Structure 1
Amino acid sequence: MAESYLKGKHILAVDDEEDILETIEDILDESLLDTARDYETASQKIQMQRYDLAILDIMGVNGLKLLEETVQQGIPTVMLTAHAMNPETLMESIRKGAISYLPKETLVDLDELLNALLGAHDRGEPTWKLLFEKLGNYFDERFGPEWKAKDQEFWSEFSRTYQIGKGIQQRLLHDERIRGRGI
């Protein structure tokens, strides 16, 4: 069995749907999981606790605003959504520093996806490249075959610099391992 990057991790899951939070709790049973069902509770937890990972819904809990807060705290963050599954929100998640953007339809594979993403993140590998390798066909089917054409400049720059996007730069500014080196 491959190493589990989730085991013992302190994770915050935020969603306004109780059944989604219960499913995440069941799936991530080897992690220490905190949950929140609204923006205010989640924001307080982000300020008061140190998390190894945050999983944020976008709609209903102001997930993109919470993303700004988790990035500021240096918490790797995965966006999980059903209703905000569109190219614009995907790009906004990238710009704001999320390490991934998962459709709720993939919840059944959440532990496998998060384990792969956290492993890549810990090794300094591009998490977005991994996401598009695993779910690229899903995005093509969901958004249409030419979905990147509308924002071609964004996507061609993104493809060249998976790791050096604005969001990554923001995360690096808040990463103690890097800031401590005076970089």
Structure 2
Amino acid sequence: MPNISLKDKKILIVDDEPDVLDSLEELLDMCTIVRAQSFEEANNFLETQKFDIAVLDIMGVDGYQLLETAIRKDVIPVMLTAHALSPDNIKKSYLGGACSYIPKQEMINIETFLIDVLTAKKEDKNPWTSWYKRLGSFCDEKFGPDWDKDEKEFWEKMIYY
């Protein structure tokens, strides 16, 4: 397993809540952080600067639109949400090209999630496999134990391939 670090990584963090940005900045103090509080500001940064990762809130800043820009600019996108926490939004994030989907309640572990994504990318593996290992039981608790059973084939493909 390669030794991956967030040191020397440039990360765009996008959220309309200043306290969330403050917390993320504190949790990711080993990185170069650029903060954005609006869609326009974040989109401008994505268009004009180079980032390793973009942590995108879904609500309040049009995170799915930013996801498209991040993909186009070859920035690793990670979704972060409190209000859009649902199996549908997990699926939408995955299908949109996001590499992870982090509930704000799990934000304290952001460094681990981002290292998981970078490790998977470096090893040419699916980042959703480690996401599911870390958050499968969280999702069971949040959405009920059968949250991923209705589209079992989709979820298995998403997680394992």
Q: TM-score range by the shorter chain?
A: over 0.9
The corresponding residue for 1:18 is 18
In structure 2, the residue corresponding to 1:149 is in which secondary structure? coil
The corresponding residue for 1:44 is 44
Q: Which residues of structure 2 form unaligned runs of 5+?
A: none
Measured in 2, the distance between the counterparts of 1:4 and 1:92 equals 28
The corresponding residue for 1:97 is 97
Deviation at 1:159, TM superposition (A): 4.3
Deviation at 1:115, TM superposition (A): 1.8
Measured in 2, the distance between the counterparts of 1:126 and 1:160 equals 7
Measured in 2, the distance between the counterparts of 1:3 and 1:152 equals 33
Q: Which amino acid aligns with 2:10?
A: H
Percent same amino acid at aligned positions? Answer: 38
The corresponding residue for 1:133 is 133
Measured in 2, the distance between the counterparts of 1:131 and 1:99 equals 9
Q: Which amino acid aligns with 1:68?
A: E
Deviation at 1:76, TM superposition (A): 0.6
Q: Which amino acid aligns with 2:27?
A: I
Change (3 A) 1:129 1:156: closer
In structure 2, the residue corresponding to 1:121 is in which secondary structure? helix
The corresponding residue for 1:171 is none
8 Å contact 2:11–2:33 — kept in the other structure?
A: yes
8 Å contact 1:8–1:31 — kept in the other structure?
A: yes
Measured in 2, the distance between the counterparts of 1:156 and 1:121 equals 19
CA offset digits 1:62-116 (Å, max 9, x no partner) = 0011101101111111101010000111000000100000110111111122122
8 Å contact 1:79–1:98 — kept in the other structure?
A: yes
The corresponding residue for 1:180 is none
Measured in 2, the distance between the counterparts of 1:145 and 1:130 equals 19
TM-score computed with the length of structure 1 as normaliser: 0.83
Q: Which amino acid aligns with 1:100?
A: S
The corresponding residue for 1:60 is 60
TM-score computed with the length of structure 2 as normaliser: 0.93
Q: Which amino acid aligns with 1:67?
A: L
Measured in 2, the distance between the counterparts of 1:26 and 1:137 equals 27
CA offset digits 1:1-55 (Å, max 9, x no partner) = x944210101000000000000011111110000100101100110001100000
8 Å contact 2:8–2:31 — kept in the other structure?
A: yes
Measured in 2, the distance between the counterparts of 1:4 and 1:96 equals 25
Q: Does 1:69 align with 2:74?
A: no
The corresponding residue for 1:112 is 112
Measured in 2, the distance between the counterparts of 1:156 and 1:119 equals 21
8 Å contact 2:126–2:160 — kept in the other structure?
A: no
In structure 2, the residue corresponding to 1:35 is in which secondary structure? strand
Deviation at 1:151, TM superposition (A): 2.5
Q: Which residues of structure 1 form unaligned runs of 5+?
A: 162-183
